[in-house]
Structure 1
Amino acid sequence: MKVVSLVPSITEALFDLGLTENEVIGRTKFCIHPKEKVKNVPRIGGTKNINIDKIRALQPDLILANKEENIKEQVEALMNDFKVMVTNVETIEDNYYLLKNLGKTFHKEDKAQVFNLKIYEILNQAKINSNIKVAYLIWKNPYMTIGSDTFIHKILSEIGFENIFKNRTRYPEIQTEDLAEADVIMLSSEPFPFKEKHIEELKEFYPEKKIMIVDGEAFSWYGTHIAKCGDYFEELIAEMNLFKHKFH
């Protein structure tokens, strides 16, 4: 089966499940994992500006899209000519079924189950031993954060963080003063590439707070990615437990 993936984390999952470059025949420019395999797969634009003619030329049997990451009109245009599977992953359970469905679709059920079990194992072990209020920023100018109906929120909650914007939905814009309640401000490495200088800017307002850059992929890439983040979460939690111990 020839497949085009319009979703970076799903492209990674397909290769993790054992598909090859002969089966994954198209991807977006943001599909960067696994590096050594995606480099041989033709690009069909970005997640929000798909090149429909390029996809037509590839003649895939199946296109994998996502409700949040792709543009509805572009996906609907593809549906006129191709079989399109539209995914929507907001919870850990959604992710479980995403992998289960991919496993079923590509006859890789056993591999999908191995990844699902690994993800549950990692999330069960990754627990902070006290409540830490967090603000997780994904964008700057304006600052944007995450509401409770996002996958990132679910991962944070699973680990034991309390999202101070849990009463909001999707990706609300916020002001610097809205961060006052947070113990920790996390600056995600993507989609906005936060750097050290951005920590310094916020430190001027909040010298007392812990402000840190976190691996955006570990929190936002659904599919198989979390199965590889065990060490990362372990280190993060050790750092948080130390921080909490020091300040309380």
Structure 2
Amino acid sequence: MNPSNPLVDALGQRHDPAPDARIVCLVPSITELLCELGLAGKLAGRTGFCIHPRDVVAAIPKVGGTKDVNIEKIRKLAPTHVVVNIDENEKPTVERLAEFVPHVVVTHPNAPRDNLALARLMGGIFGASDAAERWCAGFEAEYASLKRLPPGPARTVLYCIWQDPWMTVSKETYIASMLAELGWQVPALGQGERYPRFDWSQGLVDGLDAVLLSTEPYRFTEEHADALEKQIGIPVFLVDGEMMSWYGSRALEGLRYLGSLRALVDGTY
């Protein structure tokens, strides 16, 4: 490990290289990243939502969901490391895991370029630094391509992740940072909540250029988009939630997706 570039996670905890680690990953997008870096053989467990790459993760034992983790299953797997995320995993669960897992690696990417540090952290800890650097080079190339696009108009868009109740994302989220790469912003709703609830009102709708319905975590469909557009009278688009919210290896495709999303939305005006 380079002393000038220590392996420090989102809580400021330093980690030593552990090429012989047994990993349980409780973050779907990071499970995919670990596989991308050639580390699938070190994965001892994953959540049921860790579905990519399908042919690889099928052989890795499931340990519940991101929120309803099966602590005893993880205990029996005897991992040396568990990878968690501040948004996706609950603090009491992580604290229980820390009682018997020697190393808990906490992640919290908040913007697209945070993926560079994430890849280097995973590669540095688990013995795949060269693969991580190759991945980072690919990310930089995709990011540069996105930035070469001619600037488009600034827009205010409401990104919906749930209904009954309706929920959106705050400016402090990874999704909002992805949208900001296009010069788009999300409205300020809620009282400091990262995923605030909201009600449709004329005042809210009047301040929007478009509404984006995500395919996850709620499974919005084109039918939902068509019905909502008729209800509120402004453009509503269905967007791929994995492309917009999955940091890690899917972020490369996510950067390309941003360009096509802008073209789709701009084409309606």
Give TM-score scaled by structure 2 length. 0.84
Displacement after TM superposition at 1:97 (Å):
1.3
Report if the CA contact (8 A) 1:148-1:169 is conserved.
Answer: no
**Partners of 1:34 and 1:180 in 2: how far apart?**
41
> Are 2:72 and 1:49 equivalent residues in the alignment?
no
Displacement after TM superposition at 1:153 (Å):
0.6
**Structure 2: which 5+ runs fail to align?**
1-20
2:225 corresponds to which of 174, 199, 223 = 199
Residue identity opposite 2:253 in structure 1 = K
Partner of 2:266: 241
Residue identity opposite 1:41 in structure 2 = I
Partner of 2:161: 138
Displacement after TM superposition at 1:189 (Å):
0.4
Report if the CA contact (8 A) 1:98-1:223 is conserved.
Answer: yes
| Match runs of 1:96-245 below 5 Å | 96-126=116-146, 127=149, 128-165=151-188, 169-177=193-201, 178-207=204-233, 209-243=234-268
1:84 corresponds to which of 101, 104, 122 = 104
Over the matched positions of the two proteins, sequence identity in percent amounts to 35
- The size of the alignment, in residue pairs, is 242
Displacement after TM superposition at 1:176 (Å):
1.4
**Structure 1: which 5+ runs fail to align?**
none
Residue identity opposite 2:24 in structure 1 = V
- SS at 1:63's partner residue? strand
Residue by residue over 1:38-84, the C-alpha shift from the partner in whole angstroms, topping out at 9 and shown as x without a partner, is 11100000000110110011111111011111111111011011121
> Are 2:84 and 1:65 equivalent residues in the alignment?
yes
Quickly say closer, same or farther: Cα 1:159–1:121, change in 2 above 3 A.
farther
Residue by residue over 1:83-102, the C-alpha shift from the partner in whole angstroms, topping out at 9 and shown as x without a partner, is 21111121234332111111
Residue by residue over 1:101-160, the C-alpha shift from the partner in whole angstroms, topping out at 9 and shown as x without a partner, is 111012212221222233333334335522122110011011111111101011110122
Displacement after TM superposition at 1:236 (Å):
1.7
**Partners of 1:203 and 1:161 in 2: how far apart?**
20
